[in-house]
Structure 1
Amino acid sequence: MKVIASLVLFTICSTTISAELLTNTGFESNMTGWTVSSSNGSVASSTTANSGSKSTKFETTDYSSPYSAYIYASQSVAYDNSTEYTFSIYARDNWSNGGQPMANAVTLRIEYYNASSTLLRADQQLFSLPKDYLWHQYTFTSTQIPAGTAIVKPVFGTTQDSQWQKSVLFDDASLTGVVPIVQEPHTGDLNGDLFVNFSDYSQFANGWQISTDEVDLYDIADNWLAEYCEPLAIVSTLQTVQQYSPVFFDINSVSAFSNPYNPDDISIDIIFHSPDNSQITLPCFYVSGNSSASKWQGRFTPQQTGQYSYQAKVYVNGVYEGYSPISSLTVTESSGNGFIHKNPDSYYFWKYDSGKAFRGIGENVAWDTRSYNNQMYPYEYMLPMLGNQGCNFVRIWLCEWNMPLEWDTLGRYTASASQRLDAVFALAEQNGISLLLTLNTYSEFKSIKNIWGTGDDWVRNPYNVTKGGPCATAASFFSNATAKNFYKKKLRYFIARWGYHTNLGVIEFFNEVDHLYADGDASVPAADIVSWHDEMSTYLKSIDPFKHLVTTSFSYKWMPDLWNVSNLDFTQTHPYGTTDNTYSTITSFENNFSKPYVMEEFGYSWESAGTSSNHYLFRRELHMGMWRGMFSPTPVLPMVWWWENLAYYNDWDVFAATANFSNQITADSDGFLTSLAVNAGTGMEAMGVQTIGRMYVWLRNKTSSTISSATLTISGVQNGTYEVAYYNTWLGTYSSPSTITVTGGVLSAPIPSLTADGDMAFRIVKTGI
């Protein structure tokens, strides 16, 4: 081994999650163990519980402005040397009458005191509470514990900051900490820093400098390393893991670097040998520390069952420098589904690793609540609400104003944005939602304001030469070799940190990239945009061990050459206005480019979210667009924009009724679905799909008057008996099924009376010969 002085060593992860630190967490003993403070409020026990038989009820009753009633409950626990604490609680409204969520209805706070009971610091987060009579979990993590902490006091409660009283139920509180494991001194830890690393080796090697035989010195050093090196290892509880479940690898390194985010400077990979003998390279990412002692992490989700072997390797300045001993990981079968991939057999669905079909339904929630927007619609409100309606797919941007991963400094990644994205992934997973993440939007490369007075972001873009970047113009971003190299490094970091998430459904390079060549000031040659996407998608596919779906998007003026890039898995545009042409738009793209199409944005208008006087038009187009998409060959139903406005008007019922029927089709079909020709007579818009033994039909009255006594006719069906159920597409309810017998290959079913522009659906199931 010729590069002893540069060898990197690894140590085992040294933290664990504490046991529950609170008592009476479910309030089964009322408020025993809790200290309550209040102003104009009352506390009582309730039999409406998230779990167990009781919860606690907080009611504020302040009738005089300024409104300042509050109720807080706390417990004091001894500091246990944790490096961070996570405090969570379940809450639900108790006086629900629908309408907007209650702002600041849930307060979570962690206070730190020294031994003299002097407050050192208080960390707090406020949450909105939906008025839906449902339990919602709220979680808050506090890090960087103040020096001198002796007492930790978690506090929860509610405040009244308007004329409206609040009545909130709380249940199942929890406080846990991340506690360092005190490691016993290691025989090879010569300098007493609890790590066996190059510093110890140097101390050891100094005693052998009198040797004139360099080969002997290397042999002695190798023996010492073999005896005392602690191997790369996962936490012991995860030496066996279920298929499609994540496992983390904590790595300690003593290799020198200047910028740990620059893989040309330093990079660490874990090499896996899979049960089928294939090799997987997992990029790892920097967590903390300096060039003399740094911590890295690898995040892996195994897709095969059986025995994996793995070994970490480090490269400095592009040169291989060292490795860890080989270790093993056992993966057992699970009921999970894994990652979402292309489906070679159908444009109606994508397919999980497990083979199960996936069809997306959801909307854009492109950014979190901003300071000048309505504060009631953060991801903590929107994602649970969508999940509760049966939705499973959401589009989110990473941009200057929303989790900007690389905006302050080129080549350095923003910790706060990364931590927020970690939390959003966890929140989405809790609510059964897969994410389409958009890495860039066109406005980041524009210098002229849009119709909303924003969008001139190039002046602040870190790729701009005036901000220290390599690009003299926005257009050169797509051709400048240095800029492309920086972007690839960001892609590597993205995969290393978040690629393991099975609910990372799609990686999208750009939102509406056509604005950079079709209009405005950027004037990027179309050929450069195509070439850039070809290069970046090829690179991304080469470093992504989980093979996520990859795409980009256009607004209205697409480039055929771009959609012919083989590593862009599906096409996307953003058609606004009427959704009458949904089916023809979808099939036209698919016929032209031989890959699926997704209507990634749509809505009644692209210019504004509308007003109370015309919101019914937005609501109608939301409904029609999703139902037309459901009966079109697309793996994701059309995704509406204007999410805050739809939430404000409580249009959740539109999502719920649509998702109920769409998810039924997915469950029934098991990934096999084809179009079905149906006839409902003059004046009816009619669409149909079918799978083995089942047919589904959507009808809309296109006329301006009620249609009565119409008949649905489907030819070419097998003879036998069929159960027909009508579905109310607005209420989400089925009628009692009726039985129809087919003897001549033609099914005829009466259509209930449909008012002008009214619509309905059928579910038809073959029940007998």
Structure 2
Amino acid sequence: MFAAAQTGTAPTKLSLTAPTAAARTFEPLDMALTTDGTFANPYDPAQAQLDVSFTSPAGKTMTVPAFWYQDFDRATLKPKGTAGWRVRFTPTSVGKWTASAAFTKPGLKSAPLTFNVAASDSPGFVRIDKQNPRYFAHDNGKTQQFYFPIGLNLGWASEQPGTIGSTLDSYERWLTQLSKNGGTIARVWMADWGFGVEGKDTGLGNYGGRQLQAWMLEQMFEMARERGVNIELVLLYHGAFSTTVNPEWASNPYNAANGGPLKLPGDFVTNPQARDLFKRRLRYIAARYAAQPNLFAWEWWNEVNWTPISDGDLKPWIKEMTGVLKSYDPYNHLISSSYAYGGTSDLWKLPEIDFSQQHDYAGRDPLVWGRRDIESFIETAPNKPVLLAEVGYSANGTGEPLIRDEIHFHNAIWAAPFAGYASSGMYWWWDTFVDPQNQWPQYKGLADFLKGENLGLMTGQDAEVGTPDAAALTLQSKTRALIWLRSSTYDAGEANAAYSKALIAQKAGPDWKYDMPIRYKATVKVDGLSDGAYTAYWYAPQKNVWLSVIPVAVKGGSVTLNAPSFDKDLAVKIVPVGEPRTP
């Protein structure tokens, strides 16, 4: 199951081809490399370590690995043209750049190549917000632009790669709908049945049998970039190293039973041979995808606590692998990992981990548990963002009644920012619920309401609601407030309980509806604003439309608003007179 022994012919010639497209800042460009060398395994740097150095107009040099590339035809998914070397690079400044390639062995270098880079309107890579490190920002090296990710998981397509059109058609549909409704992030797995470049069918350390998957992942990145969607890329998932939860250890190429070096799955992070093989995979992954400006972050593990790997063994592995990954990723993309159902491990304290992540499938009300849960993450790593990276009513999928999952989906999206998370709730059931039930417009409401707002300048508070059957959360500064007001009956648990009663009474037929009474006279009191004249802009999250515009006055730091009638939820902005509703 390991790569073939070294054979081939040593290179004596090496040249770089100028990029075919115009080069612009923060846009990836590809260059082909030609050589007369041949390699039994071009994915093994011991046989072929080919790197390209790019020198900026300021004299700063960035070195990235080249990679072996096979193009494919989108219509047939058949190889197109011949395979060869390629390098992918994203320039970060305007002016004349110089590139030169080199084989470490036998010390062969190409002639330098120069190309000019023009400015683009790209906001740059995603970084930690300098104003408030509990949030994110786009950074072009000169300025930062606040970024609040709104989106969901798009882990894989149900169809197998290689089925003509299926996988890419699914991602194109999903990403189009997400973008159309204001979404800006998707979390994607490099799963064995999805975009993974190494599996039982390839053996270890040779990715020739997964070039289609590697190419399709590139196409997905491009689709997302064209639509303004960033990708959180999950490198490893729990099932591949688990014998109990979604167990796939039996088919893992690292398993000794399949010719791999490991007798036990937990040895993956401690076995020297396994670590070296994974470093090789990291080099290839970074070579192909690190230049993507819409790569939001690398995620080491999905729910690593479902594997036998302990935190004690995991921490040194993460330290080691982060150093390796950063040596191949000169763009310094963010890095994280994840646990099932939260996880307040000391892992979040590691400097190698840029942000924390929570997963939740407990069926709880996000309005209630959001702020409680996030406090434990903040206590562990107080100056890092927390992403609500997976959420669903149940880990067993969606079901009856549909209204239960629709309510939970909506509440997870809206509660997350008001609870202090650095993203919307990123729902899990993309291919069985969000897409087939056309829940995409739910994202538009939050995207429209938060457009232009810098949540990093605000703090979360509880507003006082003048009725016991509703609650409200706020995000506010001294001169601006965002408020989410919600009925107590607009809760998935309440809907599920009502459906259960109907089942017992044999009244849960096709015509069953969950009744939510209209709240006619709700009031919301907000404290902590500077005195003065303001305007309240009411918003209907269920219809994604702005409602009434009401002049209000803040006196003694407080203002009480009379809410329009509602049965589910409302939102409102309080803005000083003369300032725009959308910054």
Cα gap change, 1:410/1:235 in structure 2, threshold over 3 Å: closer, same or farther?
Answer: same
Cα gap change, 1:639/1:237 in structure 2, threshold over 3 Å: closer, same or farther?
Answer: closer
Indicate yes or no: 2:263 matched with 1:472: yes
The equivalent residue for 2:399 is: 610
The equivalent residue for 2:372 is: 584
Shift of 1:745: 3.4
Contact conserved, 2:136 with 2:385, CA < 8 A, in 1?
no
The equivalent residue for 1:410 is: 204
Residue identity opposite 1:736 in structure 2: S
Cα gap change, 1:656/1:266 in structure 2, threshold over 3 Å: closer, same or farther?
Answer: same
From 87, 95, 109, give the equivalent of 1:306: 95
Residue identity opposite 1:301 in structure 2: T
The equivalent residue for 1:432 is: 228
SS in 2 for 1:265: coil
Contact conserved, 1:514 with 1:557, CA < 8 A, in 2?
no
Contact conserved, 2:134 with 2:386, CA < 8 A, in 1?
no
Indicate yes or no: 2:447 matched with 1:659: yes
CA distance in structure 2 between the partners assigned to 1:369 and 1:709 by the alignment: 47
From 364, 371, 391, give the equivalent of 2:153: 364
Q: Tell which deviates more after alignment, 243-252 or 650-659.
A: 650-659
CA distance in structure 1 between the partners assigned to 2:537 and 2:404 by the alignment: 29
Contact conserved, 2:186 with 2:229, CA < 8 A, in 1?
yes
Indicate yes or no: 2:222 matched with 1:394: no
CA distance in structure 1 between the partners assigned to 2:578 and 2:544 by the alignment: 27
Residue identity opposite 2:173 in structure 1: Y
Contact conserved, 2:160 with 2:194, CA < 8 A, in 1?
no
From 735, 738, 742, give the equivalent of 2:550: 738
The equivalent residue for 1:463 is: 254
The equivalent residue for 1:62 is: none
Shift of 1:639: 0.7
Residue identity opposite 2:226 in structure 1: Q
Residue identity opposite 1:399 in structure 2: A
Query: TM-score when scaled to structure 2?
Result: 0.83
CA distance in structure 1 between the partners assigned to 2:476 and 2:41 by the alignment: 56
Shift of 1:347: 5.0
Contact conserved, 1:677 with 1:687, CA < 8 A, in 2?
yes
The equivalent residue for 2:298 is: 507
Indicate yes or no: 2:18 matched with 1:234: yes
Contact conserved, 1:471 with 1:477, CA < 8 A, in 2?
yes
CA distance in structure 2 between the partners assigned to 1:502 and 1:386 by the alignment: 18
Indicate yes or no: 2:534 matched with 1:722: yes
1:665-744 counterparts in 2 under 5 A?
667-669=452-454, 672-676=457-461, 678-683=463-468, 684-690=470-476, 693-702=479-488, 707-744=519-556
Indicate yes or no: 2:343 matched with 1:540: no
Contact conserved, 2:160 with 2:193, CA < 8 A, in 1?
no
RMSD of aligned Cα (Å): 2.7
The equivalent residue for 1:122 is: none
Q: Give the % identical residues.
A: 28
Residue identity opposite 1:715 in structure 2: D
- Unaligned 5+ residue runs, structure 1? 12-231, 518-523
Higher relative contact order (CA 8 A, sep 6+): 2
Indicate yes or no: 2:112 matched with 1:326: yes
Cα gap change, 1:564/1:716 in structure 2, threshold over 3 Å: closer, same or farther?
Answer: closer
Contact conserved, 1:260 with 1:266, CA < 8 A, in 2?
yes
CA distance in structure 1 between the partners assigned to 2:134 and 2:344 by the alignment: 24
Contact conserved, 1:8 with 1:323, CA < 8 A, in 2?
no
Shift of 1:325: 2.1
CA distance in structure 2 between the partners assigned to 1:261 and 1:472 by the alignment: 25
1:247-646 counterparts in 2 under 5 A?
247-287=29-69, 295-316=84-105, 321-347=107-133, 349-354=135-140, 355-370=144-159, 378-407=170-199, 408=201, 409-413=203-207, 414-448=210-244, 450=245, 455-517=246-308, 524-556=309-341, 558=343, 560-576=345-361, 577-578=363-364, 579=366, 580-594=368-382, 595-611=384-400, 614-643=401-430, 644-646=432-434
The equivalent residue for 1:36 is: none
SS in 1 for 2:448: helix
Contact conserved, 1:8 with 1:253, CA < 8 A, in 2?
yes
Shift of 1:744: 4.0
Residue identity opposite 2:487 in structure 1: N
Contact conserved, 1:530 with 1:561, CA < 8 A, in 2?
no
CA distance in structure 1 between the partners assigned to 2:159 and 2:10 by the alignment: 47
Contact conserved, 1:587 with 1:633, CA < 8 A, in 2?
no
Spell out, residue by residue over 1:497-526, the C-alpha distance to the aligned partner (whole angstroms, 9 max, x if none): 111111111111111100113xxxxxx333
The equivalent residue for 1:217 is: none
Cα gap change, 1:237/1:420 in structure 2, threshold over 3 Å: closer, same or farther?
Answer: closer
Shift of 1:237: 5.4
1:115-134 counterparts in 2 under 5 A?
none
Cα gap change, 1:350/1:474 in structure 2, threshold over 3 Å: closer, same or farther?
Answer: same
SS in 2 for 1:709: coil
Contact conserved, 1:311 with 1:323, CA < 8 A, in 2?
yes
The equivalent residue for 1:15 is: none
CA distance in structure 2 between the partners assigned to 1:563 and 1:671 by the alignment: 20
Shift of 1:555: 0.2
CA distance in structure 1 between the partners assigned to 2:546 and 2:342 by the alignment: 41
Cα gap change, 1:692/1:336 in structure 2, threshold over 3 Å: closer, same or farther?
Answer: farther
Shift of 1:529: 2.0
Residue identity opposite 1:739 in structure 2: P
Contact conserved, 2:287 with 2:328, CA < 8 A, in 1?
no
1:132-143 counterparts in 2 under 5 A?
none
Spell out, residue by residue over 1:128-153, the C-alpha distance to the aligned partner (whole angstroms, 9 max, x if none): xxxxxxxxxxxxxxxxxxxxxxxxxx
SS in 1 for 2:254: coil
CA distance in structure 2 between the partners assigned to 1:302 and 1:403 by the alignment: 26
Query: TM-score when scaled to structure 1?
Result: 0.63
SS in 1 for 2:475: strand
Shift of 1:481: 0.6
Cα gap change, 1:600/1:743 in structure 2, threshold over 3 Å: closer, same or farther?
Answer: closer
CA distance in structure 2 between the partners assigned to 1:328 and 1:691 by the alignment: 49
CA distance in structure 1 between the partners assigned to 2:404 and 2:524 by the alignment: 28
Contact conserved, 1:724 with 1:738, CA < 8 A, in 2?
yes
Residue identity opposite 1:655 in structure 2: Y
CA distance in structure 2 between the partners assigned to 1:751 and 1:527 by the alignment: 52
Shift of 1:341: 1.4
Aligned residues: 518
CA distance in structure 2 between the partners assigned to 1:699 and 1:557 by the alignment: 26
Residue identity opposite 1:765 in structure 2: V
Indicate yes or no: 2:553 matched with 1:761: no
Residue identity opposite 1:412 in structure 2: N
Cα gap change, 1:691/1:715 in structure 2, threshold over 3 Å: closer, same or farther?
Answer: closer
User: Quick check: which has more Rg, 1 or 2?
Assistant: 1
CA distance in structure 2 between the partners assigned to 1:629 and 1:543 by the alignment: 34
Cα gap change, 1:462/1:371 in structure 2, threshold over 3 Å: closer, same or farther?
Answer: closer
Spell out, residue by residue over 1:548-592, the C-alpha distance to the aligned partner (whole angstroms, 9 max, x if none): 111111003736232222111111121111123012212320232
CA distance in structure 2 between the partners assigned to 1:692 and 1:525 by the alignment: 45
CA distance in structure 1 between the partners assigned to 2:274 and 2:83 by the alignment: 27
CA distance in structure 1 between the partners assigned to 2:344 and 2:455 by the alignment: 34
Residue identity opposite 1:585 in structure 2: D
CA distance in structure 1 between the partners assigned to 2:84 and 2:539 by the alignment: 56
Contact conserved, 2:536 with 2:573, CA < 8 A, in 1?
yes
